[in-house]
């Protein structure tokens, strides 16, 4: 066996040139970091504008570079970013094309910066945009939730614990629970955005620069609140990406829970909702089926998003200061999570907005699930002065009787209830209907229609839908 043949077997037949070919492939990030091209152009224009203002490069060169960057951006917009792996990344790809367009002056663009602070800045800009997009999408989901909750402030359904019928609630109240969850998600993205809005540009490789740069100028130009305060931290920090992924992961859990509700409700045994055709599929062999595929994929995407968070956490867990090449792997999980989250938000917004709720079926399930049993026990305590434990036992007997006859509690004759306990009188029926049950729960945050309408009105104001 020749030496070359042995080398090829060792490195794998794919790498005919041996180790150098492997290094070229493992080192290149252009296949994924080309997604940063808009941020790279924007940050470069801010940087060269500052260099010109500070007299570090001439005004003519600064203008020539800025105009050249605009031409590069136009090419990328029209034709996409070319992938030359020898140029490694979006930063070198852009600078190389700039040199082809304007000549030697392009070499002045990289004065007083490093690819370390350059990518830290570009990535922050991208993540900041992703946070803004998530916040906007979540607001639209809240609008859909509030709109449907307002329609169904009085629509009665069973409330569950352990997925067992517990007490009657209103569909509006149920939907508003997700409004609250999504509101917390929006706050997490807002908090993360405020915390990350500092500009690392000008930190250079790790120690800052000897050029008389104005980091406050570039920070302001890029919409940051201020520059970062430690150059070592600036180039090695990926907390902003982890903050985004943590918020995205928590949000995906809420979206998955909502998706699971729709999956259960759309099943034939429940029959609480008919999902929109646009977010469902059919079976290849069973024509009667309407599968909740979009909801199931949202549920599945949640696992992938949590996986993205875990991947970056493990990547960052043991890195010494400052920059290490491991950090090149920071972008794929963030890009993947952002794409999945945007799809999930859009899918659930459409599902909430377009689903047809079968309210009579919901109401019937609440009645036959004996959801007003607690109301009977409470009535016995309040009106008959019976200790709760005894009232609980009496109620259990009433439920058993109603169940044996296949009727709701309020459909049992008074004489049968009195046979269970003589202290029950006709006043009990005012408490046994599902309508009476939900109406009685008018405490702050309760399911009573009056409380649901109040909360919907407050939410509409908070969302800017009402004055």
Give the 3-state secondary structure of residue 155.
Answer: coil
Distance separating alpha carbons of residues 406 and 40, to the nearest angstrom: 68
173 catalytic, yes or no?
Answer: no
Instruction: Tally Cβ neighbours within 10 Å of residue 102.
Output: 19
DSSP letter assigned to residue 421: -
- Cβ atoms within 10 Å of 23's Cβ, excluding its own: 12
List b or e across 228-239, with b for residues whose CB sees 16 or more CB atoms inside 10 angstroms.
beebebbbbbbe
Identified catalytic residue from 162, 284, 404, 444: 162
* DSSP states along 71-133: HHHHHHHHH-----GGG-SHHHHHHHHHHHHHGGGGGGTTTT--HHHHHHHHHHHHHHHHHHH
Q: Which among 58, 187, 278, 283 is annotated as catalytic?
A: 283
Q: Which tokens go with 111?
A: 């004065």
**Spatial distance between the Cα atoms of 68 and 89, rounded to a whole number of angstroms:** 19
Q: Residue 418: name the closest of 404, 398, 432, 400 by CA.
A: 398
With 0-12 / 13-18 / 19 or more C-beta atoms within 10 angstroms meaning exposed / middle / buried, residue 349 is buried
301 assigned to active site: no
- Cβ-in-10-Å burial (0-12, 13-18, 19+) of 66 comes to middle
What is the distance between the alpha carbons of residues 243 and 139, in angstroms, rounded to a whole number?
19
Catalytic residues: 162, 283
């Amino acid at each position: 066996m020749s030496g070359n043949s042995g080398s090829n077997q060792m490195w794998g037949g794919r790498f005919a040139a041996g180790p150098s070919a492997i290094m070229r492939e493992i080192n290149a990030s252009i296949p994924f970091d080309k997604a940063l091209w808009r941020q790279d152009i924007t940050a470069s224009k801010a940087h060269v504008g500052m260099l010109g203002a500070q007299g570090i490069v001439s005004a003519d060169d600064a203008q020539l570079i800025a105009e050249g960057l605009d031409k590069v951006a136009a090419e990328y917009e029209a034709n996409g970013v070319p992938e030359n792996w020898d140029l490694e990344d979006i930063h070198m790809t852009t600078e190389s094309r700039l040199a082809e367009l304007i000549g030697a002056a392009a070499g002045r663009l990289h004065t007083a910066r490093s690819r370390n602070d350059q990518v830290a800045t570009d990535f922050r800009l991208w993540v900041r945009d992703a946070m803004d997009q998530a916040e906007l999408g979540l607001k639209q989901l809240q609008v859909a939730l509030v709109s449907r909750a307002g329609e169904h402030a009085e629509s009665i359904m069973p409330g569950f614990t352990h997925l067992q019928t517990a007490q009657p609630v209103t569909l509006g109240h149920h939907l508003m629970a997700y409004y609250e969850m999504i509101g917390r998600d929006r706050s997490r993205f807002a908090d993360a955005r405020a915390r990350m809005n500092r500009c690392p540009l000008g930190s250079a490789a790790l120690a800052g620069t000897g050029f008389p740069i104005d980091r406050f100028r570039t920070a302001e130009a890029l919409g940051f609140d201020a520059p970062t305060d430690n150059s070592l931290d600036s180039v090695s920090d990926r907390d902003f990406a982890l903050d985004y992924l943590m918020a995205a992961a928590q949000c995906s859990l809420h979206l998955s829970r909502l998706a699971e509700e729709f999956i259960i409700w759309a099943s034939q045994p429940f029959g609480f909702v008919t999902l929109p055709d646009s977010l469902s599929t059919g079976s290849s062999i069973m024509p009667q089926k309407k599968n909740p595929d979009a909801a199931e994929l949202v549920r599945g995407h949640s696992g992938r998003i949590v996986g993205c968070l875990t991947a970056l956490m493990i990547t960052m867990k043991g890195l010494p200061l400052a920059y290490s090449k491991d950090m090149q792997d920071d972008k794929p999980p963030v890009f993947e999570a952002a794409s999945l989250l945007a799809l999930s938000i859009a899918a659930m917004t459409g599902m909430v907005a377009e689903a047809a709720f079968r309210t009579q079926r919901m109401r019937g399930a609440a009645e036959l699930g004996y959801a007003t049993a607690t109301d009977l026990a409470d009535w016995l305590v309040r009106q008959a002065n019976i200790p709760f434990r005894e009232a609980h036992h009496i109620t259990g007997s009433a439920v058993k009787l109603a169940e044996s006859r296949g009727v709701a509690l309020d459909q049992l004759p008074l004489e049968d209830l009195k046979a269970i306990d003589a202290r029950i009188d006709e006043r009990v029926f005012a408490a046994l209907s599902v309508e009476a049950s939900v109406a009685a729960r008018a405490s702050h945050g309760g399911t009573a229609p009056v409380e649901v309408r109040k909360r919907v009105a407050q939410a509409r104001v908070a969302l800017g839908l009402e004055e």
